[in-house]
A = this chain, B = another copy of it.
Amino acid sequence: MQNAPRKARNSATSTRRKSAAVTIHEVAQRAGVSPMTVSRVVNGNANVRAATRELVMRTVRELNYTPNAAARSLAAASGTRIALIYTNPSSAYLSELLVGALDGASKAATQLVLDTWDHMTRATERAAARKIAQSVAGVILPPPLCESKAVCSELVAAGIPVVAIASGRFQPDISGVRIDDFRAAQEMTEHLLSFGHSRIAFIKGHPNQTASALRYEGFQAAMAAAGVPVDPTLVQQGFFTYRSGLEAAEKLLARKKPPTAIFASNDDMAAAAVSVAHRRGMDVPRDISVVGFDDTPTATTVWPELTTIRQPIAAMAASSIDLLLRSIRRRKDGEARVVVDHVVAHVLVKRDSVAAPAPG
């Protein structure tokens, strides 16, 4: 018994509303393949002949096709959601991080979910990690969360891929996207030395982040290489906050023989150092040079603008999404977990906060 013969779908006959967006069918038709093949290419997944892949990709580009995220997550039922978990909401590079992550996510038609974990104990962190592991397919961890053994181990145990972003050191269990903090600090120190500075003070970062140690080690290494001794009284502990920078700089500049340059482990502390110098009637950079690290908005907000190290956070975030997506796919295909350490280039940005030390 034949069923209703109504069949000819789509085209313009549908009574249904029409969304203007390009669909996978149009791409398929144009490329002369089946929608399924397009899907495979777009997802970089299965085995598609190189020639076919090439053709489809070109068509996708021509038509400017973007997968519909809703349809995708509905069909896959696997809701490819990636969580970005952050702790300190006022962290200076948060917006750049978000912009980058969102950009990467939207290019890949992946849903990005945000989560703030504040004031957590190790136990609640564990619980939160377990919970998030059930609702997303991957996690991006900026510092200081990526340093938390509790969080990482829980996530790894749950089998979900994790990417640590801007964590100082490569961790054996989880992938990372970062700059070479050691090398960057070394270069910055060399920059200062090249101006003739030798009494260079250093304000350390928060001790719970490996990047802090690396930056300090880079500083030490450059000083040692130049044969300039590091005066231990010119090394102050900071915590990456403006406040801590204020205190550290205060101690540094209250000395009868203050340093001629201050290397702060991040921009906020450097800005604080500038503020303290001003309060004491010193001109920056004439009386003292100050440099920071990270190139956050703070660096260009204060006056004079800070010489600093640029971390391409947005690009790093976008590439974290890529990395994560690849891991997720691999995992779904039953392949073994692969841990990647992606080191991206930093840039020494020279602005107006460095000059040669005053003679004498």
Which residues on A are within 8 Å of B, measured CB to CB? 16-21, 68-71, 73-74, 77-80, 89-90, 92, 94-96, 98-99, 102-103, 106, 109, 111-114, 134-135, 241-243, 246, 268, 272, 275, 278-279, 281, 297-298, 300-303, 332
Q: Is the interface of A mostly helix, strand, loop or mixed?
A: helix
Q: How near does chain B come to A314, taking the closest CB pair, in angstroms?
A: 9
| A95 contact from B69, B80, B98, B302, Cβ within 8 A | B98
Known: A112-B106, A242-B302, A275-B278. A89 touches B78 (CB 8 A): no
Instruction: Give the Cβ gap from A270 to chain B, nearest Cβ, in Å.
Output: 13
Residues of B contacting A113 in the complex (Cβ-Cβ under 8 angstroms): 102, 106
Min CB distance A355 to B, Å, is 18
Known: A92-B297, A112-B106, A114-B106. A68 touches B74 (CB 8 A): yes
Q: How far is the CA of A79 from the CA of B103 in the complex (A)?
A: 16
Contact of A17 among B20, B71, B77, B302 (CB under 8 A): B77
Contacts of A302 in B (CB 8 A): 242, 275
Chain B residue nearest to A300 in the complex (CB): B90
B69 touching A71 by the CB < 8 A rule?
no
Minimum CB–CB distance for A281 against chain B, Å: 8
A281 to B281, CA, bound (A): 8
| A116 vs chain B, min Cβ distance (A) | 8
Q: Measured between C-beta atoms, what is the minimum distance from A164 to chain B in Å?
A: 20
Contacts known (A242-B303, A303-B243); A69 close to B111, Cβ less than 8 A: yes
Contacts of A78 in B (CB 8 A): 17
CB distance from A105 to the nearest CB of B (A): 9
Chain B residues with CB below 8 A from A102, complex form: 98, 102, 112-114
Contact (Cβ within 8 A) B109 A114: no
Q: How far is the CA of A272 from the CA of B272 in the complex (A)?
A: 12
A209, chain B: closest CB distance, angstroms: 19
Most buried by B among A90, A112, A241, A268: A90
Q: Identify the closest chain B residue to A272 (Cβ).
A: B303
Write out the residue numbers on chain B whose beta carbons fall within 8 Å of the beta carbon of A268.
301
What 5 A-B pairs are tightest by C-beta distance, nearest first? Answer: A95-B95, A90-B297, A278-B279, A94-B95, A70-B74
Which residues from B are CB-within-8-Å of A77?
A: 16-19
Give Cα A300–Cα B243 distance, bound, in whole angstroms.
10
Q: Which of B21, B70, B275, B298 is A70 in contact with, Cβ under 8 Å?
A: B70
The CA of A303 and the CA of B17, in the complex, are separated in Å by: 57
A159 to B281, CA, bound (A): 57
Q: Which residues of B contact A281 (CB under 8 A)?
A: 279, 281
A99 adjacent to B114 (CB under 8 Å): yes
Given contacts A103-B114, A113-B106, A278-B278, contact A301 B242 (CB under 8 A): yes
Complex contacts, A278 vs chain B, CB 8 Å: 275, 278-279
Q: What residues on B are CB-neighbors of A69 within 8 Å?
A: 70, 80, 111
Q: Could you tell me the distance between the alpha carbons of A272 and B102 in the complex, rounded to whole angstroms?
A: 32
Cα–Cα, bound, A317→B279 (Å) = 38
Nearest Cβ in chain B — how far from A102, in angstroms?
Answer: 5
Note all chain B residues with C-beta closer than 8 A to A98.
Answer: 95, 98-99, 102
Closest-CB distance, A246 to chain B (whole angstroms): 6
